[in-house]
Homo-oligomer: A and B are copies of this chain.
Amino acid sequence: MKRPDWWRSDATAPFRLGPRMLPGRVWTASGCFGYGLAAHDFTAADCASPYAGLGAVVTKTVTPLPREGNPMPRLVETPCGALNSIGLENVGFDAFLTTVLPELEARGVPTIVSLAATTPEDFGPMVRRLHDAASGFRHWHGVELNLSCPNVAEGGHDFGSSPATVARCVAAARADLPDRALLAKLTPNTADIAQLAVAARDAGVDAVSAINTVVGLDVDLRTGQPYLPRRFGGYSGAAILPIALAKVDQIVRGTGVPVVGVGGIATVEDALKFFALGAVAVQVGTAQMRDPFAAARVAAALGQWSSS
């Protein structure tokens, strides 16, 4: 597409987010690009690398202990999106810290670590250990608190939809994260996302990420039962883009809290819609699963305008 007249920024230039300079405004979203390592040798004729121009890879959410996740099947495609019920399968914080994060650093992948926990107070120790182990890392830029994954019973629904809990999580993490960006990822499954954003800001985040997946369900017509063993899944992809835009607008105009826009972004046009509403950065989720170069392509398209 052509550069829109109103577009003045350079999304591939470094920008400040709280205490930290990040290398760009186009990121990959948590859970849709693994730990950011699986595609390191992928090539494409039209794009230098899956990491070219990225501001950050937000890692799959890491929990204190390893998790095996939910029973299969975990994914259902719908006509304009998908439902997932992965259940936060991850290697656990220890393995992440000793194995994954050093490799990301070694490969120079700009990284935001996504964390989830069962109680707000669990965030403190994780962030402290991160800080201790990785304070010298140049490519570790921050932490995103996943306060919104609807697939995990103990940390699900109510966890992230109470402003007070959001505040406690943020406060616990902020205390030990003086020099990296701190983000809270908010749930859209609430009537008032703006008040969650305010709670997060007041407790010390540098930005909020919005949105995580929307609660959805699909029925297998052969059985008349939901496809997913846990009935509900997290709805993502193109279908939720207008919902994400609405939530981002509610936060930006309602509160002024800096927002990283997530939800349904696959193309530069999609990303621009979030920037138009005032998002400071964007994340590409589901589209990154289809195309490991999706975020890099968005960054390339935006970057090309800055030089023209």
Q: Using a CB–CB distance below 8 Å, which chain A residues touch chain B?
A: 1, 4-7, 78-81, 83, 157, 161, 189-191, 214-219, 221-226, 231-232, 235, 238-243, 245-246, 249, 269, 272-273, 276-277
Contact = CB atoms under 8 A, between A and B. Distances in A.
B217 A80 contact: no
18 contacts: A4-B224, A6-B223, A7-B224, A79-B80, A80-B239, A215-B243, A216-B242, A216-B245, A217-B245, A217-B246, A217-B249, A217-B277, A218-B241, A219-B277, A224-B272, A232-B246, A235-B242, A238-B239
A295 to B, nearest CB: 19
Contacts of A189: 191
Nearest to A243: B216
Nearest to A238: B79
Given A191-B189, A225-B276, A277-B219, A81 B239 contact: yes
How many identical chains are in the complex? 2
Nearest to A223: B6
Contacts of A217: 242, 245-246, 249, 277
B190 A242 contact: no
Nearest to A161: B191
A191 B195 CA distance: 14
Contacts of A219: 245, 272-273, 276-277
Given A80-B238, A214-B243, A232-B249, 20 more contacts: A1-B221, A80-B81, A81-B242, A83-B242, A161-B191, A191-B191, A217-B242, A217-B245, A217-B246, A217-B249, A218-B242, A219-B245, A219-B277, A221-B272, A221-B273, A224-B272, A226-B249, A235-B242, A235-B243, A239-B242
A224 B6 contact: yes
Contacts of A239: 80-81, 238-240, 242
A271 to B, nearest CB: 11
Contacts of A232: 246, 249
B221 A4 contact: yes
A267 B161 CA distance: 35
A81 B235 CA distance: 15
A161 B190 CA distance: 11
A7 B6 CA distance: 54
Contacts of A272: 219, 221, 224
Contacts of A7: 224
Contacts of A191: 157, 161, 189-191
